Amino acid sequence: MAGKNDPPAALRVDTVALHTFAKTLHDEAATIVGLRSGLADAAGALPGTRWETTCTQLHAIIDKALGRVGERLSTVADSIEHTGKVIDVTDEQFRAKLTTIGLHP
């Protein structure tokens, strides 16, 4: 990986930070998917009013939106995790090739 003696133009990527960030996003996504609006419980609070209909409609909309946000975060986390793995593999392959031709100890 990139070190303190690398030229200024070198690409420096902290893959540990990428993996940590991806895990954090996955955890947050799971939390968001698990959230519930609570509107289903509130629907019966005012019988005989439009409150029940409103709560029922909003319950479905909000819970679906929370699910979509969680899924999107998971997709972003997967992309970040994949990027970190590709960088790790590419760096290791490059190092191995340099070692093979005698340019890396």
pLDDT tens digits, 82-98: 999 888 888 788 888 88
CA distance 48 to 52: 8
Residue 6 scores a pLDDT above 70: no
Do 76 and 26 contact (CB within 8 A), yes or no?
no
Quick one: pLDDT at residue 82? 94
- Residues in the chain, total: 105
Q: What is the pLDDT of residues 67-78, one digit of tens each?
A: 999 999 999 999
Read off the amino acid at residue 74. S
Q: Which of 22-26, 28-32, 50-54, 67-71 is predicted with the least confidence, judged by mean pLDDT?
A: 50-54
CA distance 42 to 62: 14
Q: What is the DSSP letter of 49?
A: S
